Amino acid sequence: MRIIVVLALIVLAACNSADKTENVSMTGSYKMLSQSVKSEQTDTTYTTLQQLKIFTPDHMMYANVDPADSASAFGVGTYSSMIDTITEHVIFSASDTSKNETSRNYKLTIDKTKKGYKQIIPDIEFNGQTFTLTEEYDNAGSDVTSPLDGVWKLTAAWYINGKDTSAQKMIQYKAYYAGHVIWGHSYTDSLNKNHTGVGFGKFTMTGNDKVKESMMVSTYNQIRGKDFDIAVEMKGTDEFTQTITEPDGSKAVETYQRLKKQ
Tell me 115's DSSP state: S
141-161 residue pLDDT tens: 999 999 999 999 999 999 999
What is the spatial distance between Cα 4 and Cα 42, in angstroms, rounded to a whole number? 12
Per DSSP (E only), the strands in the chain are: 28-38, 43-46, 50-55, 59-66, 71-82, 85-95, 98-100, 104-112, 116-126, 129-139, 150-161, 164-167, 171-177, 180-188, 194-207, 210-218, 227-234, 239-245, 251-258
45-56 residue pLDDT tens: 989 999 999 999
Q: What is residue 202's predicted lDDT score, i.e. its pLDDT?
A: 98
Please state the separation of Cα 138 from the chain's center in Å.
15
Q: Name the pTM for this structure.
A: 0.87
Domains of the chain: 2-139 (2.40.128), 150-258 (2.40.128.490)
Q: Which residues contact 256 (CB under 8 A, 6 or more apart)?
A: 152, 153, 154, 155, 174, 239, 240, 241, 242
Please state the separation of Cα 124 from the chain's center in Å.
22
Q: What is residue 25's predicted lDDT score, i.e. its pLDDT?
A: 80
Bridge partners, residue 214, by sequence: 202, 227
Q: What is residue 42's predicted lDDT score, i.e. its pLDDT?
A: 86
72-104 residue pLDDT tens: 999 999 998 887 888 889 999 999 999 999 998
Q: What is residue 23's predicted lDDT score, i.e. its pLDDT?
A: 74
Q: What is residue 90's predicted lDDT score, i.e. its pLDDT?
A: 94
CA distances from 90 to 8, 137, 249 (A): 13, 20, 38
Average pLDDT over all residues of the chain: 89
8-44 residue pLDDT tens: 444 433 333 334 557 778 899 999 999 898 998 889 9
Angle at 15 between CA 14 and CA 17, to 5 degrees: 150
Give yes or no for residue 258 having a pLDDT over 60. yes
Buried/exposed 180-193: b ≥16 CB within 10 Å, e otherwise: bbbbbbbbeeeeee
214-242 residue pLDDT tens: 999 999 999 999 999 999 999 999 999 99
Q: Residue range 101-126: average pLDDT?
A: 83
Q: What is residue 19's predicted lDDT score, i.e. its pLDDT?
A: 42
* CA dihedral (90, 92, 98, 102) positive or negative: positive
